[in-house]
């Protein structure tokens, strides 16, 4: 090979290497997956779920509820489907209060998990004394206990799945629907005709709305009587633009969202881990199983430039990444709940974590398709405080609806 040919080959190779930093992943690139569950109960072989229809219990175990006297906790595995309708299994918890009757009311609570560890999901906190898991799930466990005290059964789906695929929202919606379907299908639970509602706040609110728009085709025979959600992120591209490229205290969740999507979609669609710099990869490996509090704490002050090699998240420079983000954003998905669906929606007008104008657009689209929405906007900008103050309103509304109450339809009053 002559000198010019060698020079050209070297130049082409160099350009190819540099291009790999901002283009689809090379064949060897792989996501950084979480550690598998420690407890063998939560592990299932493909033969146990790949030929099962959606929402079928694989196994379950029951023990006394640690907080609700006389109540029980049942952890169960069930068949479901991932984003691409491929067979998977998932886990969930069913809580039943003392004296729960056959076909009693049940509420699905979609926790705001926002984490990268499988164990950060609520089911695992009921059987493992793990400070990080127990602390992260404490609020949802509390509300589930309160609901049980009022006589409701509660389902807590682990909607990030067995790969902890945070913000893979179609996956999450499938798991939430199949957790309810599994409970209703399982004769031992005797809940086939149970009145049911689905609720969630923040990331859990996002999952709840995804379940509502996936249900008509994914689970057409499953009856969900009411949905209630608050603090709802509707546009993942917004967070990539606002949170990703500058130093800020919420970068840990933006980073986790990217890692979670790569786990579900693969590195050919969204190449994240392979493009981290040395510091970013070391930190990623140390925190591959981190729950949201640790992610927020240890990534505080980081940014895309401090974690990645020559990457900036803009729609122009990262079209494939932004395509995946749009595919998991309620704002861009044109599907709507089944006509006549009843919803209670609450959100702050000033919450950067859940921009109100985007939510209004989504709600008006649902209204135009025949959804009945009881709608409440609040002035408090504190995302967490709104949850603490107004989740009781959700339970009050669920109680009203479960007892045959009528919904106040606010569709004509949703601002533009």
| DSSP codes, 288-341 | TT--HHHHHHHTTT--HHHHBSS----TTT-HHHHHHHHHT-TTT----PPTT-
28: confidence class by pLDDT, cuts 50, 70, 90: low
User: Which residues pair with residue 226 across a beta bridge?
Assistant: 197
- DSSP for 344-355, please give it: EEEEETT-TTS-
Give Cβ neighbours of residue 357 (< 8 Å, ≥ 6 apart): none
pLDDT band of 380, cuts 50, 70, 90: confident
Mean pLDDT of the chain: 89
Sheet (strand 57-64) strand order: 57-64, 72-81, 87-96, 153-157, 106-110, 196-201, 226-230, 342-348, 372-378
Q: Which fold has domain 50-233+339-413?
A: Rossmann fold (3.40.50)
Q: Which of 369, 335, 368, 344 is nearest to 226 (CA)?
A: 344
Q: 173-224 pLDDT, tens per residue?
A: 999 999 999 999 999 999 999 999 999 999 999 999 999 999 999 999 999 9
CA 206 – CA 239 distance, rounded (Å): 14
Q: Residue 56's pLDDT is what?
A: 98
pLDDT digits (tens, 9 = 90+) for 96-111: 999 999 999 999 999 9
Angle, CA 31 vertex, CA 125 and CA 266 arms, to 5°: 105
pLDDT-derived band at 15, boundaries 50, 70, 90: very low
pTM above 0.85, yes or no: yes
pLDDT at 17: 31
367 contacts 343 by C-beta, under 8 angstroms: no
Looking at per-residue confidence, does 148 or 88 come out higher?
88
Residue 235 has pLDDT above 90, yes or no: yes
Q: Which pLDDT does position 415 carry in this prediction?
A: 95
- For residue 65, which of 104, 90, 19, 97 has the smallest C-alpha distance? 97
Tokens of 298: 């240890």
Instruction: Judge contact between 89 and 47, C-beta under 8 A.
Output: no
Q: Per the structure block, which two tokens stand in for 132?
A: 């990080």
Only one residue has tokens 């003392």, namely 98
- What confidence score (pLDDT) does residue 206 get? 97
Q: What is the pLDDT of residue 244?
A: 59
| pLDDT at res. 137 | 78
Residue ranges of the domains in the chain?
50-233+339-413
pLDDT tops 90 at residue 392: no
Take residue 196 and report the two structure tokens written for it.
Answer: 């049911």
The pLDDT tens digits of the residues spanning 261-285 come to 999 999 999 999 999 999 999 999 9
Reported as a pLDDT band with limits 50, 70 and 90, residue 310 is confident
Phi, psi of 264 (to 5 degrees): -85, -40
Tell me how far apart the alpha carbons of residues 140 and 90 are, in angstroms, rounded to a whole number. 19
Residue 87 has pLDDT above 60, yes or no: yes
Indicate if the pLDDT at residue 145 is higher than 50: yes
> The tokens of 78 are what?
């069930």
307 neighbors 282 (Cβ within 8 angstroms): no
The answer to whether residues 30 and 273 touch, using CB atoms and an 8 Å cutoff, is yes
Average pLDDT on 133-158 reads 84
Q: Among residues of the chain, what percentage have pLDDT more than 70?
A: 92
């Amino acid at each position: 090979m002559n000198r010019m040919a060698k020079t050209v080959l070297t130049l082409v190779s160099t350009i190819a290497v540099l291009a790999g930093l901002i283009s689809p992943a090379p064949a060897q690139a792989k996501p950084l997956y979480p550690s598998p569950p420690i407890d063998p109960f939560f592990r299932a072989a493909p033969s146990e779920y790949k030929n099962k229809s959606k929402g079928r219990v694989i196994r379950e175990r029951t023990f006394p509820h640690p907080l609700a006297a006389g109540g029980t906790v049942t952890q169960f595995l069930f068949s479901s489907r991932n984003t691409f309708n491929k067979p998977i299994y998932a886990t969930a918890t069913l809580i039943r209060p003392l004296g729960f009757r056959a076909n009693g009311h049940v509420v699905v609570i979609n926790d705001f998990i926002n984490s990268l560890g499988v164990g950060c999901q609520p089911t695992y906190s009921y059987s493992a004394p793990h400070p990080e898991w127990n602390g992260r799930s404490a609020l949802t466990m509390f509300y589930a206990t309160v609901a049980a005290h009022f006589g409701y059964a509660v389902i807590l789906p682990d909607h990030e799945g067995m790969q902890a695929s945070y913000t893979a929202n179609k996956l999450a919606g499938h798991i939430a629907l199949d957790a309810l379907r599994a409970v209703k299908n399982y004769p031992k639970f005797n809940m086939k005709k149970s009145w049911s509602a689905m609720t969630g706040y923040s990331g859990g609110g996002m999952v709840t709305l995804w379940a509502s728009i996936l249900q008509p085709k994914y689970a057409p025979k499953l009856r969900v009587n009411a949905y209630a959600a608050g603090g709802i992120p509707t546009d993942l591209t917004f967070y990539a633009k606002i949170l990703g490229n500058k130093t800020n205290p919420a970068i840990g969740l933006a980073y986790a969202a990217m890692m979670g999507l790569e786990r579900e979609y693969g590195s050919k669609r969204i190449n994240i881990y392979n493009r981290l710099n040395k510091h970013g990869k070391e930190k990623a490996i140390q925190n591959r199983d981190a729950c949201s509090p640790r992610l927020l704490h240890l990534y505080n002050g980081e940014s895309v430039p401090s974690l990645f090699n020559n990457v900036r998240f803009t729609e122009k420079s990262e079209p494939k990444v932004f395509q995946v983000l749009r595919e998991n954003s309620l704002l861009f998905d044109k599907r709507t709940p089944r006509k006549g669906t009843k919803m209670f929606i609450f959100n702050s007008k000033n919450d950067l974590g859940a921009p109100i104008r985007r939510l209004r657009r989504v709600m008006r689209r649902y209204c135009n398709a025949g959804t009945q929405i009881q709608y409440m906007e609040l002035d408090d900008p504190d995302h967490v405080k709104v949850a603490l103050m107004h989740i009781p309103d959700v339970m009050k509304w669920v109680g009203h609806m479960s007892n045959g109450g009528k919904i106040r339809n606010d569709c004509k009053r949703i601002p533009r």
